[in-house]
């Protein structure tokens, strides 16, 4: 049974398609251009990551450094925005400010992975200032970070589980009597971790019984997408946005 909608962020008529970093398969992950491509392809839900520069600017980038995906280098936390803005993803596209992404795509909803503690305060301040509580779900591998976000923002903010919350939910699905945080609205998980399956029918059923949606990352193969949807997952994050759209269209659940 699909859980009732606990937060306006999750108000979508079918399984939620997330464009992971805008659709990272094209090599222009987390760029304005790639998010535009996803939105033009019909995606309403976009996934990104945020870090904070040395002078407090919130940028959309997965890594803590510029080295892997840009022609620049150095730790973002050590660099001012005046340096970061000159770096180019794949040598061509600038690193965007998250605030600019919010403004550029006013109808989009964002799944935001807060990669480092210094980014949390600026993100919550931005959400408060722009009033976009219904458009953002905050996640992190750090359970303490998402708990802190929830404590600071209250029920206005949608959050997913961190690693500990997911582990507790997995244990509960196996019958281990552990408590799980009730303020989250979703469990966002990989299919498996270290060779151990995470997402199966029991896990989905346990999450739904606690009013949680299950979103799975990062799934690029159409057969795996179909298998997960057959299990009843509520969302899929993908680098291959055309593939996921085709799968959902074939199932009659692309909206």
Catalytic residue set = 20, 62
Question: What residue spans of the chain are helical by DSSP H?
Answer: 32-40, 81-84, 98-104, 120-130, 143-153, 163-173, 201-209, 222-231, 241-251
User: How many Å apart are CA 165 and CA 46, to the nearest integer?
Assistant: 23
User: How many Å apart are CA 89 and CA 114, to the nearest integer?
Assistant: 20
User: How many Å apart are CA 253 and CA 255, to the nearest integer?
Assistant: 6
- Rounded to the nearest 5 degrees, what angle is found at the Cα of 248, between the Cα atoms of 242 and 254? 95
How far separated are the first and last CA of the chain, in Å rounded?
20
Q: Rounded to an integer, what is the distance from CA 203 to the centroid of its chain?
A: 20
The residues that bridge with 112 in the sheet, in sequence order, are: 48, 138
Using a 10 angstrom Cβ sphere, with 0-12 exposed, 13-18 middle and 19 or more buried, the burial of residue 194 is exposed
User: How many Å apart are CA 140 and CA 145, to the nearest integer?
Assistant: 7
Q: Rounded to an integer, what is the distance from CA 18 to the centroid of its chain?
A: 8
């Amino acid at each position: 049974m699909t859980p009732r909608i606990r937060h306006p962020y999750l108000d979508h008529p079918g399984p939620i398609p997330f464009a992971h970093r805008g659709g990272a398969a094209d090599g222009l992950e987390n760029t304005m251009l790639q998010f535009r491509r996803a939105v033009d392809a019909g995606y309403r839900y976009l996934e990104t990551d945020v870090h904070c520069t040395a002078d407090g600017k919130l940028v959309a980038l997965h890594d803590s450094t510029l080295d892997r995906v840009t022609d620049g280098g150095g730790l973002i936390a050590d660099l001012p925005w005046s340096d970061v803005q000159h770096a180019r993803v794949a040598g061509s596209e600038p690193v965007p400010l998250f605030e600019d992404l919010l403004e550029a795509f006013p109808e989009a909803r964002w799944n935001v992975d807060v990669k480092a503690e210094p980014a949390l305060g600026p993100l919550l301040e931005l959400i408060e200032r722009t009033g976009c509580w219904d458009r953002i779900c905050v996640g992190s591998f750090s359970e303490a970070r998402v708990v802190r976000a929830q404590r600071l923002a209250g029920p206005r903010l949608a959050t997913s589980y961190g690693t500990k919350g997911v582990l507790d939910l997995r244990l509960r699905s196996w019958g281990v009597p552990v408590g799980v945080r009730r303020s989250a609205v979703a469990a966002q998980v990989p299919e498996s971790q270290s060779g151990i399956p995470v997402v199966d029918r029991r896990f989905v059923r346990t999450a739904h019984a606690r009013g949680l949606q299950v979103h799975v990352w990062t799934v690029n193969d159409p057969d795996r997408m179909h298998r997960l949807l057959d299990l009843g997952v509520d969302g899929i994050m993908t680098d291959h946005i055309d593939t996921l759209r085709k799968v959902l269209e074939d199932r009659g659940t692309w909206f």
